[in-house]
Structure 1
């Protein structure tokens, strides 16, 4: 029987500690970006524009939540965008058979879960590094999508299927956005308030010590890969519903944006630390940046350069800061 690892309760953080936290720094940057965008474009503060802006990042943000937990456990999944594509293709073929929306959604979730299971088994059973496995499955899943669909586009979805990606729950709050808020709360509780979350941190800090403490490290990581795949399937449902079509290029290049959200949120790319709160704030920061640049008609390729620069900067900053602190006076 697996031993339950008990950890002492964490002390409450002082006000000064909170003010110098990464999450507080992100809040300041997000507020600054909000002010700059409102001054740069007269259309930014329009309530409906702000509401519609959430469509541009919510699906990525939903996937970022389980990916954050996976990275905290010292693993990574680079096949997330390809899983979304393959799940979308599966939903497209299901729609062609005349299936209703419920079966189409189940197809997307099922394919996503299966892809996550494949990744997890390859990593945990065969001891292959996750970065190697998921680079391979990234090409595999996307390649299967191209083989099955070719250059064609599937559009024959039931009318009520559009609600998942285009519907509103109340006033200007879309179904996607409300779902993201609910999932953010769920993952916050899962990571920070349960034994499962404590095991995730323990594995990320020292997998060997976690194993000898009674944690089934392989099974835990397998569950995380399956969870990532399942949420990718959910993102495929939302994205396909919003676009109203399926094509093999769907979600192309999303890996960079999603991992940037996670790392920008303060999750250590080497594992062991990070919070859902940080990822939550980073999601809105990136959303505001891309939305503001879009209002200024900045080309997509420039946005990609900016996002890539943010990713490199966030990863490099702690390393440079540590070297600066350890530098001997006069050296």
Structure 2
């Protein structure tokens, strides 16, 4: 297969093409999909996944994972609601919640980098711990009376367009993440760490520091997502964002990020995010039950892990046959 064609059929390119096909199909055949209100609803509901997917992509590229992001988001929302009930201003509450996210991410990072514990096990533990703390902080209450201007920003649209106001800051964060991962020495180091941590260490990469930074930033972004979630849905509860980690991991892996690290693009990850979001939106319009949507998400997660591996094995086998073929 020619090299140019090989690049054209990369997994992330395939995912981008599938997203375009799904959008064209939905605009043509799914009633109500193309109206401004539904498109705004689709993007707004996908933004929490997309926000967490930015740092999660960098983390998975480095060979780690954080399953506690949804619980961190829930804890952030719970603290936000509790402090609002105590009379604090929203301008004071938001920095406190963001700092809390930094602490949660730092705890994960220290346990992984300093104690050498596997990130999968660590973040399963903190997933439960952070959610439990959120329930202690807020109980079963739901706080809904946040300032109108913040609710309007989180749920409102830009003029008469379908774009949510919150989409514009996301584009800025996306641009920063793309530059960091694909155009800086730090990003190149993450690919090196994911490909071979030992080789990266011998090459002078400060592996532990890089991973600690990634876990901390992931906690920060999860906390920001928790704030956005509470304002977007006008409700702060301890169980906000439950199950978000499954959607984030499914979308990131669907976008071609290798679970073992060292491979993938942020463009592919974001294409995976919006492919998953569009698919869920179409299923909702077709009255598919929430339970069935969860099944579809799980199937996509399996496919996203299996697909790139099968494609890579086929590529390796083809290369082996070419190398073994007799030359004229």
How high is the TM-score relative to the length of structure 1?
0.90
Q: 1:202 aligns with which of 192, 203, 213?
A: 192
Judging changes above 3 Å, is the alpha-carbon distance between structure 1 residues 322 and 209 closer, same or farther for their aligned structure 2 residues? closer
Q: Is the contact made by 1:164 and 1:238 (CA closer than 8 Å) also made in structure 2?
A: no
Does residue 131 in structure 1 map to residue 141 in structure 2?
Answer: no
Judging changes above 3 Å, is the alpha-carbon distance between structure 1 residues 170 and 205 closer, same or farther for their aligned structure 2 residues? farther
Residue 112 (structure 1) shift: 1.0
Residue 38 (structure 1) shift: 2.8
CA distance in 1, matches of 2:230, 2:153: 9
Does residue 228 in structure 1 map to residue 225 in structure 2?
Answer: no
Residue 324 (structure 1) shift: 5.6
Residue 195 (structure 1) shift: 1.0
Q: Deviations over 1:61-105 (max 9, x none)?
A: 110010010011111000000000001111112212222221121
Q: 1:255 aligns with which of 231, 240, 245?
A: 245
Secondary structure of 2:114's aligned partner: helix
- Aligned twin of 2:294: 304
Residue 107 (structure 1) shift: 2.1
CA distance in 1, matches of 2:124, 2:176: 29
Deviates more, 1:209-218 or 1:301-310: 209-218
- Show the 5 A alignment for 1:125-274: 125-172=114-161, 173-274=163-264
Residue 170 (structure 1) shift: 4.3
CA distance in 1, matches of 2:292, 2:220: 31
Name stretches of at least 5 consecutive residues in structure 2 with no aligned partner.
322-328
Does residue 88 in structure 1 map to residue 82 in structure 2?
Answer: no
Does residue 43 in structure 1 map to residue 32 in structure 2?
Answer: yes
Q: Is the contact made by 2:81 and 2:138 (CA closer than 8 Å) also made in structure 1?
A: no
Q: 1:33 aligns with which of 22, 26, 31?
A: 22
Q: Deviations over 1:138-190 (max 9, x none)?
A: 00000111122222212232233213411334442212222222211110001
CA distance in 2, matches of 1:179, 1:322: 36
Q: Is the contact made by 2:155 and 2:164 (CA closer than 8 Å) also made in structure 1?
A: yes
Residue 258 (structure 1) shift: 0.3
Q: Is the contact made by 1:164 and 1:237 (CA closer than 8 Å) also made in structure 2?
A: no
CA distance in 1, matches of 2:307, 2:8: 19
Secondary structure of 1:74's aligned partner: coil
Residue 21 (structure 1) shift: 2.2
Deviates more, 1:96-105 or 1:179-188: 96-105
Q: Is the contact made by 1:100 and 1:158 (CA closer than 8 Å) also made in structure 2?
A: no
Count of equivalent residues: 317
The RMSD of aligned alpha carbons is 2.0
Q: Is the contact made by 1:69 and 1:191 (CA closer than 8 Å) also made in structure 2?
A: yes
Q: 2:13 aligns with which of 24, 29, 32?
A: 24
- Aligned twin of 1:68: 57
Q: 1:280 aligns with which of 265, 270, 275?
A: 270
CA distance in 2, matches of 1:246, 1:234: 13
Judging changes above 3 Å, is the alpha-carbon distance between structure 1 residues 275 and 170 closer, same or farther for their aligned structure 2 residues? farther
Deviates more, 1:95-104 or 1:292-301: 95-104
CA distance in 1, matches of 2:156, 2:26: 27
CA distance in 2, matches of 1:131, 1:21: 27
Name stretches of at least 5 consecutive residues in structure 1 with no aligned partner.
1-12
Residue 321 (structure 1) shift: 4.2
Q: Is the contact made by 2:60 and 2:258 (CA closer than 8 Å) also made in structure 1?
A: yes
Q: Deviations over 1:265-323 (max 9, x none)?
A: 11000001111110121122112101111110110110110010011012112334455
Residue 15 (structure 1) shift: 4.9
CA distance in 2, matches of 1:222, 1:190: 16
